[in-house]
Structure 1
Amino acid sequence: MIQLLTRQSLKVALTGLLAVSLTACASNAPQTKDAAAPKPTETPAASASKYPEKPLSIVAPSGAGGGWDLTARTIAKVLTETKAVNKPITVENKPGGGGAVFLAEYASGKKDDYKLFVSSPPILINNLKKEANSPYGYKNSTPLAQLTKDFGAIAVSANSKYNDLKSLLNDLKADPTKLTIAGGSAPGSMDHLVAILPAYKFGIDPKKVKYVSYDGGGEALTALLGGNVDVIGTDASSLDQYVKAGKIKVLAVASAQRLGGSLKDVPTMKEQGVDAEFNIWRGIFGPKEMSADAKKYWDDTLKKLNENDVWKKELQANNWESDFKNSNDFNTFLGQQEVLIKDMLTALGMQK
C-alpha cells in the first residue's frame, strides 16, 4: 500500500512540476502580433480502469478436497453466479509442501494480476518453522481480504474405538507411537499443529507423536477412511460431508464454543479438559506490487461478495463463519498472527 501511495504521490508531483515548467516556458516566450492568445490548460480526466480484461484464476495450493480447494471453488462460483465478475474464473490446484511449493513459484515468477490464490495460517507457519522452512511468506504477496474463519478438528473413522478426545489422548500419552495421525500439510504446518496441539496441551511430547503428511485434506481423509492412519487433524468445515455420510466421528473442535450444522453435538477441546483453540482464518491474496487498478477492483468486489446473500448461504452450507477484513485490516491482522504463530512454534520447539 505504501508503494502504491508513493507512486501515486510521485505521479501527482511530476504532473504539477510539468505544469509549472510549461507555464514558465510560455511566459518567457517572445510575443508576436500574430501569436494566438494562450488557451487555458486542460487536464484530461483519468481514464477508467479496464481491469479485468481477460479470464482470471484462483489457485488452491493443495490437491482437490480440503479447505483451500473448497474455499477457492466457492469464491469462484459465487462471483460467477452473481455476475460480480464479468470474466471467466477458473480454479487451479497446485499441491506441494502445504502451499510452500506454489508460493515459491508465485513469488519468484512474473507478476500476474490475473492469478490470485487462497491461503490460511500455513502462509505464516511455513515461513516461521524450523524444518522445511520456506523463505516466502505473506509479505511476498498482496493480502486482499480475509473472508472466513474455520476451526481445527480431530476426527477418527466411524469404526474407531475412540468416541471422545480424552480417551484418545490417554492412549497417546501411554505410548505416543501407538497411533498414526494424519494431516493435509507438511510437518510443522497447519494440520500438524492442529493435530498435535491437544496432545501438547495434555502433556505429551509433540516430537514423539507419529505424524504423516498428505497433499491436502482430501488425501488425508482418504487415508483415514482407508485405514492407513488412525486419526486426522484438519479444518472442521472439510469434514461436513463425511459426518453426514456416517463415515467419520469428530471427537473435538478447537473453537471457543460448539459449532453449528452437522457438528453441533461435537464438544470443544476445552469442554473435554484440553485448553486448546485453533482459529483457521482464510483469505485471498494477489501478487506483490499488484497494480493499483487491480487492487482497487478486488477491494470493491470482495467487499460486495461478503455482503451478498448468495455468499452468506454458502457460508452456512459449509459451516464457515464470516470474518471479513479488507486489505488494510487483513494486512495488520497477519502481522499480529505472525507473532502468535511464532510463539506457538517456539513452545513446540519448531521455530526457525
Structure 2
Amino acid sequence: MAFGSNSDTVPSKVITSSLAISAPCPTAADMSYAEAPRSSLAFGDQPCAARIGEPEMIRRPLVLAALAAVVATVLPLIAPAALAQEVGRAQRVVNTVYGGGLLYRLQTGQPVVFNERISTAEASATSIALGDGSFLELGPQAEVTLDRFVVDSRSGVTGVVRMTRGALRFAGTPVPKRIDIETPSASIGIRGTILSVRVTAASTEVEVTEGTVTITAAGQVLQASAGQFVLVDGPARPLVRQPTPAFRQEMQRVSSLLGPIPVVRAAAPTAPNPSGTEPVMDASGRLLGTLGRRADGMLEVRDLTGRLRGYVDPVRNQTLDASARVIGPGNLAPTLLGGR
C-alpha cells in the first residue's frame, strides 16, 4: 500500500486534537497565577498552568539526584574524626601514607579512627600514637585496618589490628590491654608487649623484643617470650627459629625511615633539658651537635648541619646509629659525631 494513500491517513479528529491550539499558552515569565486561573487557558487537552509547571517538575528530581551524587562523593572525604571514634593520631608520617583506604593522604597530627584502613606506599612509613600511649608503626607497602578498637582511660586500648601485608612494629604501655593482630596465617595476642611483625600472603614472622605474645596458627597455640622469633609458614604450625634475612632487611627499612622502635614506660627518665635540645661537646669543649628529645623519650643525635646521626636510648641505656643498630652501651653521642 503506497504511503500517503487515503487508507493511511490519520483521522482528522486526532490531528485536530493533537495540534490545534485553542488559545496561546503564555510562559511563566509572561503571566502570573493571579492574572489567569489555572483552568482558563488550555494547550491542547492540558491546562496551560500544567504546561508552565512542567519544567519545574522535570528539574526537581534532576536537582535532587545531583545533590545525592555530590553528597556521595564528598562524604567519604570528610575528616574521619568527625565520623567515628578517634583511637589515636599520626605522630609521624614519612612520604606517602593513606587513610580511609585510599581516600585521603594521612598527615602528621591527623587523627586515626575506629575501623580505619591505613596503607603506606613504597619508601613510606608512619608512627601512630594510640590513645593510651602505645605506638603502632607501619613500614613501606604495609596495610592494616584498626578493627573494633576501644579507648578507655583506665584500661587503655583494646581492639584488633587486621594486617594484610608489610611490616609492623608495636610498643605497648605497661597498662594492661588486649590487642590482637590478625594476619592471613596467624593471630597474635599482645599484652603490653614490644614486637615486630612481617606479613606476606604466605607467611607471618614475629620477633618479640619485650614481654610475651600468644601466636595461634594451624590449630596450634605458641607462647613466645622476649628474644624469640616465630615463623608461621602457610598452613604449618608456628616454629621458633632464627630471624630470616627477609625479615631483617624489612625491619632495617622501617628503622631507616622511623628510627628505633619506641620504648614506652609509665614514668620515663627525664632528660637534662626535656623541653628542647642540649649541646653535645667533646672532651675539649668543642661543640659537635645536639641531643633532642622525641615524644617517645628517645634522644636524637644530630650534627651541626641538622643531619640525624643516631639515637640515645635512656631507658635501655644504649646508643644506636642512624639505621637503629646498637653501637654500644651508655651515651655515645660524641662518638657518633666524630668526637672522642
Instruction: Identify, as 1 or 2, the structure richer in helix.
Output: 1
TM over 0.5: no
Find the structure with the greater CA-based Rg. 2
Higher relative contact order (Cα pairs below 8 Å, separated by 6+ residues): 1
Measured against the shorter chain, the TM-score band is under 0.3
